[in-house]
């Protein structure tokens, strides 16, 4: 199973292995990783699974949709590396991905 490392705002690492096809949002919420809420259940409709994904992982992901772009506009500190965790499915191609979490979801 592909592995995901979530790094909280305080710098704690949470490593989880999830079946391919799981979204980053579910990978976090199903494993009790603090800092991701996922209020809308994965509909790209609340922006409470905001994460930062830097190089080299960012370029391996499909680009943001217009909808994701709109919703990221609701977050407190959107950055070029901002993504919504519910829009990214974990696959073998991104096995080992590192995901940084913001200070809080809003």
Partner 1 sequence: MTSPLSAVQQQARDAAMSMPLDAIDPADPEYFVHDTVGHYFERLRRDDPVHKSDSPYFGPYWSITKYADIMHVDTHHDIFSSDWSRGGITLTDPPEGEKLQMFIAMDPPRHDDQRKAITPIVAPPNLMKMEGLIRERTCKVLDGLPRNETFNWVDEVSIELTTLMLATLFDFPLEDRRLLTWWSDVATMNKKLNPDALEPHERMAELGKMLEYFTRLWNERINAPPASDLVSMLAHGPSTRNMSPLEYMGNLVLLIVGGNDTTRNSMTGGLLALHDNPDQWAKLRADPELIASLVPEIVRWQTPLAHMRRTAIADSEVGGKRILAGDKVAMWYLSGNRDESAIDDAHRFIIDRARPRQHLSFGFGIHRCVGNRLAELQLRILWEEILKRFPVIEVVGEPVRVRSTFVRGFSQLPVRIPG
Closest to partner 1 by CB, 7 vs 44, is 44
Report residue 75 as tokens: 């977050």
* Contact stretch for partner 1 (CB under 8 A) within 11-19, 35-43, 55-63, 84-92: 35-43
Q: Is the dihedral of CA 42, 47, 49, 52 positive or negative?
A: positive
Shortest spacing between CB 86 and partner 1, in angstroms: 12
* Contact stretch for partner 1 (CB under 8 A) within 11-19, 52-60, 64-72, 90-98: 64-72
Instruction: Give residues with Cβ within 8 angstroms of 44, minimum separation 6.
Output: 65, 67, 68, 71, 84, 86, 87
* Contact stretch for partner 1 (CB under 8 A) within 16-24, 56-64, 70-78, 86-94: 70-78
Q: Among 4, 18, 37, 87, which residue interacts with partner 1 (rule: CB under 8 A)?
A: 37
DSSP state of 86: G
End-to-end CA distance of the chain: 31
Q: Is 95 in the site for partner 1 (CB under 8 A)?
A: no
Q: Is 76 in the site for partner 1 (CB under 8 A)?
A: yes
Pick from 81, 101, 105: which is nearest to 4 by CA? 101
């Amino acid at each position: 199973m592909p592995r995901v490392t979530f790094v909280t705002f305080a710098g704690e690492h949470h490593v989880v292995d999830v079946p391919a096809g799981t979204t980053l949002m579910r990978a976090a919420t199903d494993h009790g990783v603090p800092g991701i809420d996922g209020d809308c259940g994965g509909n790209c409709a609340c922006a409470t699974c905001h994460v930062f994904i830097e190089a080299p992982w960012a370029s391996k992901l499909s680009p943001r949709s217009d909808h994701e772009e709109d919703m990221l506009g609701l977050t407190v500190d959107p950055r070029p590396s901002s993504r919504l965790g519910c829009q990214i499915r974990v696959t073998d191609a991104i096995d080992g991905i590192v995901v940084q979490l913001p200070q809080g979801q809003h």
